[in-house]
Chains A and B, each alone.
Chain A
Amino acid sequence: MIEVENLGKTYVEEPVVRDLSFFVPEGQVLGFLGPNGAGKTTVMRMLTAFLPPTTGRVVVAGVDLDQDPVGLRRNVGYLPENVPLYPEMRVNEFLRFRADVEEVPRGEVHARIEDVVERCLIGDVRRQVIGTLSKGFRQRVGLAGALIHQPPVLILDEPTVGLDPNQIIKVRELITELGQDHTVLLSTHILPEVEQVCERVFIIDRGRVVADGTPEALRNKLVGNPSLAVELKGANGSARTALEALPGVVTISDRGEGRYLLEHAAGSDPREAVFRMAVERGWVLLALTPQQASLEDVFVRLTTREDELAPAAAEEVHDA
């Protein structure tokens, strides 16, 4: 649905996006990640034919950006960062305007407005002036505007920024629902969001791809061995050595007050052994929790500039 080949953008001799290539198949929800200034917004602006690329090729829904930028815009619904809207217009007026500008056939305008109003749950504010709406409603009005012409591709730039937790959940639900019949490219730097909403994650840094894969694959590839947090009561100093000797355990770190972190080989599960050992030795087992490395760890490892390991690790994932 979205094909990008060797895309590059240079502003006044300063490359912002360098040689970016990726492909998003139809129906995928892609999380587009990167630290601030990584070039996410610039890439999105090129995918929506707002900015001309310096080099490379962009094809969205079969339309080549070079040959038909206006045609490409027809296939894309775009919600820019901070959701720019016209504050003086009423929601109804705004949607009508968007429908006209997006070439929704005249006969369908009414039905399309009804549809997006219902989808985005903005029925209650239809007659309100946009400037008086809360941030959450504004976000949904913006999304409704981007959906009005039923574009096959949706590009959303940080759609949940500045919302309260309830609103974030609602917007995420909406995006998940939209992902069922749209190809979605979603930029964010909120990582739990990616885990919940996206099938695939794409991380860029300084205009380059540093990782590409499913959230699980990225975690597994990068974080290495799984680990287990253990908390014991009544254990003495021997606990550490005893735990370390259990099959599958690779290393152990003592976190004080009876808390240990066991790193074990992938595929092994020492939980049962830990439990039996505790029973045998009369320790009280307070906690036994498998630790899942978060995508945050992955992100930090990949995009921290001081981290010399990052490029190597990234290549490893990218090959996979």
Chain B
Amino acid sequence: MRKVWAIIRRELIAYFSSPLAYIVMTAFLLMQGYIFYLIVSFLNNPQTPAMTPLRLFFGGTIFFWLFLLFVVPVITMRLIAEERRSGTIEVLLTSPVTEAQVIVGKFAAAMAFYAALWLPTALYVVVLRRHSEIDIGPVLAGYLGVFLLGFFFLAVGTFCSTLTNNQLIAAIIAFAAMVALFSIGLVEQLMMSSSVIKSALGQMNLWTQMDDFAKGIVDTRHVIYQLSGGLLFLFLAAKSLEVKKWR
């Protein structure tokens, strides 16, 4: 545990000593600020249909997804690829640390950074509560959805980072993998006939899953899908590191 903690701390030092972290955070807050502005203008318009405004905030706009699909690869691309490129992986894996500990530590650091991105948005909820009635249940469910989606996508990104020693390639693979996972829902909509496959794909639609969370529905199927997907990719990442640690 202490070793995992040391890896997390080292990884956070790396995040916050690079300008990339600050660029990502700034861009993220700009985007969230814009969405917040949309929400407020909706609320000001008496013709707004009755809906939870915060649904927009959690995955209700394409901005959310676009940004997520870009930001997650940026967060994870460095994790293992850079260690392999610089050779520090050799130092790390000749100390009494297992591959699984390395992956868990790195992934946990990525999760922490992702959480840090979202943390300031809690202010919006505070501000909205002062001026309007907010049902806190869907907000919490929305944050849970954001967390789970982050868990899943960051695990995919971590796995992709073990595949190459080039950060850019790692980011591109991760982006492609995430787009593929995200478009499962689109494929489902394109399918004409109703079949078992269509309904299976429908269950894997991340957009509707996120929408459910934003509505305040915590469906255990969604929770299990995203958690088990994340764990699967973390397992694959550890195995891939074991096999591919030499250059």
Which residues on A are within 8 Å of B, measured CB to CB? Answer: 45, 48-51, 70-71, 73-74, 76, 78, 80-82, 84-89, 93, 96-98, 100-103, 106, 142, 145
Q: For chain B residues 7-41, which have a beta carbon within 8 Å of chain A? A: 7, 9-10, 13-14, 17-18
Q: Are A50 and B94 touching (Cβ within 8 A)? A: yes
Tell me if B46 counts as interface (CB < 8 A to partner A): no
Tell me if B194 counts as interface (CB < 8 A to partner A): no
Q: Are B6 and A100 touching (Cβ within 8 A)? A: yes
Q: Chain B nearest CB: distance from A103 CB in Å?
A: 6
Q: Chain B nearest CB: distance from A140 CB in Å?
A: 15
* Bound: A145/B9 CA distance, A: 17
Q: Are B96 and A88 touching (Cβ within 8 A)? A: no
Q: Are A84 and B88 touching (Cβ within 8 A)? A: yes
Chain B residues in 8 Å Cβ range of A89:
10, 13-14, 17
Chain B residues in 8 Å Cβ range of A78:
90-91, 94
* Bound: A51/B244 CA distance, A: 10
Q: Given A50-B90, A70-B96, decide whether A88 and B6 contact each other with a Cβ distance below 8 A.
A: no
* Bound: A273/B191 CA distance, A: 103
Q: Are A49 and B94 touching (Cβ within 8 A)? A: yes
Q: Are A84 and B94 touching (Cβ within 8 A)? A: no
Which residues on B are within 8 Å of A, measured CB to CB? Answer: 2-3, 5-7, 9-10, 13-14, 17-18, 86-98, 245-246
Q: Are B94 and A73 touching (Cβ within 8 A)? A: yes
* Bound: A235/B91 CA distance, A: 63
Chain A residues in 8 Å Cβ range of B17:
88-89
Q: Chain B nearest CB: distance from A233 CB in Å?
A: 57
A-B contact pairs, 19 of them (CB 8 A): A49-B94, A51-B245, A70-B97, A73-B94, A73-B95, A73-B97, A81-B87, A84-B89, A84-B91, A85-B86, A87-B86, A88-B13, A96-B6, A97-B10, A100-B2, A101-B7, A102-B96, A103-B3, A145-B91
Q: Chain A nearest CB: distance from B246 CB in Å?
A: 6
Q: Are A85 and B3 touching (Cβ within 8 A)? A: no
Q: Are A93 and B13 touching (Cβ within 8 A)? A: yes
Task: List the A residue with the shortest CB-CB distance to B92.
Answer: A101
Task: List the B residue with the shortest CB-CB distance to A89.
Answer: B13
Q: Are B96 and A50 touching (Cβ within 8 A)? A: no
Task: List the B residue with the shortest CB-CB distance to A103.
Answer: B96
* Bound: A215/B95 CA distance, A: 32
Q: Are B94 and A85 touching (Cβ within 8 A)? A: no
Q: Are A88 and B14 touching (Cβ within 8 A)? A: yes
Q: Given A78-B91, A85-B88, decide whether A45 and B246 contact each other with a Cβ distance below 8 A.
A: yes
Q: Given A45-B246, A50-B245, A85-B88, decide whether A101 and B95 contact each other with a Cβ distance below 8 A.
A: yes
Q: Given A97-B10, A100-B2, decide whether A80 and B92 contact each other with a Cβ distance below 8 A.
A: no
Task: List the A residue with the shortest CB-CB distance to B14.
Answer: A88
Chain B residues in 8 Å Cβ range of A74:
96
Chain A residues in 8 Å Cβ range of B5:
100
Q: Chain A nearest CB: distance from B85 CB in Å?
A: 9
Q: Chain A nearest CB: distance from B83 CB in Å?
A: 8
Task: List the B residue with the shortest CB-CB distance to A84.
Answer: B87
Chain B residues in 8 Å Cβ range of A82:
87
Q: Chain B nearest CB: distance from A148 CB in Å?
A: 9
Contact among A45, A80, A88 with B18 in the assembled complex (CB-CB below 8 Å): A88
* Bound: A102/B87 CA distance, A: 18
Q: Given A73-B96, A88-B13, decide whether A100 and B90 contact each other with a Cβ distance below 8 A.
A: no
Q: Given A80-B87, A82-B87, A84-B88, decide whether A71 and B10 contact each other with a Cβ distance below 8 A.
A: no
* Bound: A98/B10 CA distance, A: 10
Q: Chain B nearest CB: distance from A40 CB in Å?
A: 14
Task: List the B residue with the shortest CB-CB distance to A98.
Answer: B95
Q: Given A84-B87, A88-B17, decide whether A48 and B96 contact each other with a Cβ distance below 8 A.
A: no
Q: Chain A nearest CB: distance from B230 CB in Å?
A: 25
7 tightest A-B CB contacts, nearest first:
A100-B6, A84-B87, A88-B17, A48-B94, A84-B88, A78-B94, A80-B90
* Bound: A100/B87 CA distance, A: 20
Chain B residues in 8 Å Cβ range of A80:
87, 90-91, 94
Task: List the A residue with the shortest CB-CB distance to B90.
Answer: A80
Q: Are A71 and B88 touching (Cβ within 8 A)? A: no
Q: Are A100 and B3 touching (Cβ within 8 A)? A: yes
Q: Chain B nearest CB: distance from A139 CB in Å?
A: 13
